[in-house]
Amino acid sequence: MRTLAHISDLHFGREDPALIRELLADLRKLEPTLVAVSGDLTQRARRRQFLAARAFLERIPCPKIVVPGNHDIPLYDPVRRFLLPLHRWRRYITADMDPFYRDAEMAVLGVNTARSLAFVNGRISDRQITLLRNRLCSIPDRTFKIVVTHHPFIPPPIPPYSIVGRAAKALAVLEECGVDLLLAGHYHLGYSDDIRSHHETIRSRILVSQAPTLSTRLRHEPAAYNVYTIDPPVLTLVVRSWNGKRFVTARKTRFREIKKTWSAVGS
């Protein structure tokens, strides 16, 4: 059994200090096997925002997979945006753009989908698709396989309905490699579904799970993060929601593989 905390869209520069304090306390109590951070660590990719994000990450006492989001690329400085898009990310957060975690039960690969040109929707490159195959296909299927991106593979329930660029091409490889779970953020909305809710050509079950924001840039729902307990063939998702004072369990959903599809089987 493994426990994974999925936090996203912290947008340092638009953070709530009380929330950040309680989030660290909640994570310390939880002691997850791994924390996945799916991008938009900063609001405008400024130095002081990266420094605040780094100080936060350093206080999480467990392994982390961290990928950038579109907000981690400078927007208004054309030199930095097009010539040095992730320079500050590499300097202040991590130089590892293909972060990978593996233990006896779980393998997790982070993929950077943030691009200077495909600014809003992001994209996966051929190099990254090859890397996905090389890293994940040789791992036995009894290992639970997870990929973390900023931009999602299925659209949110409300507009805009965009997904990451080249999703279909990447998904063919993810299916081939037996990936179980895709984690992302970007829309500041929490939602989960089987990949075939949007990609009908995929035959294997892949669960997609989106985390909302932990910043003050809320969209129709409170700040929250997700905790997954991975105990195949059951995956339990607990949503830890911010009530203004502390994090509380807002929802618990159990997913089970039924007829090769991820189905919610109650709480």
Residues at the interface with Fe ion (CB under 5 A): 9, 40, 69-70, 186
52 vs 173, beta carbon nearer Fe ion: 52
The 3-state DSSP class for residue 265 equals coil
Cβ proximity to Fe ion, 147 vs 177, nearer residue: 147
CB of 114 to Fe ion, least distance (A): 8
Other C-beta atoms closer than 10 Å to the C-beta of 80 total 17
The residue (of 69 and 110) whose beta carbon lies closer to Fe ion is: 69
CB-closest chain residue to Fe ion: 40
Residue 134: CB minimum distance to Fe ion, A: 27
Report d(CA 167, CA 170) in Å as an integer: 5
Burial of residue 137 (CB within 10 Å: 0-12, 13-18, 19+) is middle
Q: Least Å distance between CB 1 and Fe ion?
A: 31
**Nearest distance, CB of residue 192 and Fe ion, angstroms:** 18
1 Cβ contact list (under 8 Å, min separation 6): 105, 229, 230, 231
What is the C-alpha separation between 39 and 72, in angstroms, rounded? 8
Shortest CB 217 distance to Fe ion, Å: 7
**Nearer to Fe ion (CB atom), residue 40 or residue 257:** 40
DSSP helix, strand, coil percent of the chain (3-state; round to 5): 25, 30, 45
Residue 97 Cβ, how far from Fe ion at the closest point, in Å? 17
- Of 64 and 186, which CB lies nearer to Fe ion in the complex structure? 186
Least gap, CB of 70 to Fe ion (angstroms):
4
d(CA 17, CA 60): 15
Our measurement of the distance from residue 127's CA atom to the centroid of its chain's CA atoms, rounded to an integer in Å, reads: 20
CB of 140 to Fe ion, least distance (A): 34
Nearer to Fe ion, 70 or 204 (CB): 70
Spell out the residues 6+ positions from residue 236 whose beta carbon is closer than 8 angstroms to its own. 228, 229, 252, 253, 254, 255
3 state SS for 97-118: CCCEEECCCEEEEECCCCCCCC
Task: Decide if 137 contacts 129 (C-beta within 8 A).
Answer: no
Q: Name which of 32 and 156 has its Cβ closer to Fe ion.
A: 156
Q: How far is CA 42 from CA 73, 134, 196, in A?
A: 9, 31, 32
Report the residue number, 37 or 106, with the smaller CB distance to Fe ion: 37
